[in-house]
Each structure stands twice: as structure tokens, then as C-alpha cells.
Amino acid sequence: MATLKQIRQRIKTAKNIQQITKAMKLVAAARLKKATDRVLEARPYAEKLKELMGSLAKAGELPPHPLMQKRDVKKAIVILVTSERGLAGGYNTTIIRKASDFLKEVEFDVEFVTVGKKGFQFFSKRNRTIRRSVTMPSAGATLENAVEVTKVTLQAFESGEVDAIFVCYSKFYSAIRQVPQLVQLLPIEAPVADEKDSSMGSEIAFEPNAEGVLNALLPRYFQTLVWQSLLEGTASEFGARMTAMTSATDNAGKMIQSLTLKANRERQAGITTEILEVVGGAEALKG
């Protein structure tokens, strides 16, 4: 049974841990606000690019483009978006599980471009090929990270080294809800015109030509999808970490209360024992 001194030491340790988790919760909450704003600002841009792709399809059949060319998949790259640090609940676990399930389902070779240390550590220890490992700053993914990932993966696809590009990340819904996603980015699906909207149709004119427009638009569209995935992952990480640290802080508080109650009981029991010993000694002297 723990002594009063040991219980008090455990209370001290729990209070120190509570201070750390509370500080981490506050930092994560502040970063989550910024990350959420960035996600919400970026989503409309990605949607508008998607609408623009649909508008191009209304102008008639588009010329073939390497980024839309489908081929038999013999090797693919998965862009894996995890965090640099732990203490984020099940955030990294769910993403890694999603990627691991994908590896079991496919019959082609898969290489990884990892964004975040946790994904790199997991798959490198399992002898998976890591084409590039990208490190993020503590405040979250940057546009430079997205540009680096885009350059590496786009070059591999255009050179024919790989036949498809996927991204595995966590889509952000709220601080308590993040859902792992694994979607194909390349080859880009040929845009389909929305039959309900016939406002632009054949009025679209390509300058200098359709091929030139696609050469400028498709790489930008791909980079936007990569950037959006990194932003979603960053917001998901901070949301998961804030939730985990809130839970840890609350649990530490409950533990402190329980240990304090236990310490008080031990102290009272000790006092009672001392009183009984004094009374017993006095009675013995009288006798």
C-alpha cells in the first residue's frame, strides 16, 4: 500500500503533467483557429477551379493531355500526410491504418512521399520505399511544402516512373471529427459538363488554344489539390491534439482529486493511530 509520502509525490507529478497538457491544449487551440481559417479560405478556390474544369468541357471535346492520360497502373505514389509530433490522439493511427489497408488491396507497387515524421517513421521501419520525406514546421504545412510535393510527384508521373498519384490525409470537419481519406489525384479525371448549367457552353474560346490552357491549368489544379490536402491535415492534427489534451487535462484533474482524497484519508488514519497510541500509553501509565 502506498505511503502518504508516495501519494503526495504522485499528486505533484499529476499536477506537473496537467500544467503541460493544459499549455499544449491552449497552443493547439490557437493554431487550430488559424488552420481552420486557412482551410475555409482555400476550399472555395479549389471548388472554383473544379467548376472551371467543368466549364471547359462544355466547349467541346478537349485535346488529350498527359495529366489526364490513363494507363495500366504498375507503380503508384501515395502522398501520406501525418504530423511531425505525437500527442494527437488517434490522428496518425487512423491515417496510417487507411494507407496500410490500401496496400493490402492493390496489386501494384507503391512508393510514399511522406509529409510529417510519423508516417515516415512507420513505413520506413517496414521497409517501404520512401521517395521523399517532407518536414513541416510546428505551426503546420506551408505552401513551400505543397510545391515540393507537387514537383516530386508531378515529375515522377510525367516521366512515366509511376502511373498514378494518390493522397492519404485526414479531412477536417471539426475539432472532434476528422475523417481519413485516400483519393486519386493523377491522372486527373476528364472534366464533365454540368447538363443543368448551359450558360457558357460553346461561347468559351481558348487563347491561345485549348492545349495551352490545359498546360497552364492542370498542373495548377493538381498543386491546389495537394495544398488543400495539407491544409486539411494540419487543421485535423491541431483539432485532434486539442481534443486529446483537453481530455488529458480533465483526467489529470480527476486523478489529482482522487489522490488528494486518498492522501487526506491516509493522513487522518495516521493521526488517529497516533492518538490511539498516546491514549494507550496514558492508560498503561495509569495502570
Ordered by start, the domain boundaries in the chain are 27-191+200-243
Q: Which residue has the higher pLDDT, 197 or 270?
A: 270
The percentage of residues in the chain with a pLDDT greater than 90, rounded to a whole number, is 64
Q: Which residue has the higher pLDDT, 275 or 248?
A: 248
Q: Is 60 helix (H, G, I), strand (E, B) or coil?
A: coil
Calculate mean pLDDT across residues 46-71. 77
Cα 156–161–163 angle (5° rounding)? 90
pTM, two decimals, is 0.85
271: pLDDT strictly greater than 90: no
Per the listing, cell 450558360 goes with 199
> What pLDDT, on a 0 to 100 scale, did the predictor assign at position 278?
78
* Residue 236 cell numbers, joined: 485535423
User: Residue 108 in contact with residue 75, Cβ under 8 Å?
Assistant: yes
187: pLDDT strictly greater than 60: yes
Q: Which CATH homologous superfamily contains domain 27-191+200-243? A: ATP synthase, F1 complex, gamma subunit (3.40.1380.10)
User: Residue 222 in contact with residue 188, Cβ under 8 Å?
Assistant: yes
> What pLDDT, on a 0 to 100 scale, did the predictor assign at position 277?
77
User: Residue 183 in contact with residue 102, Cβ under 8 Å?
Assistant: no
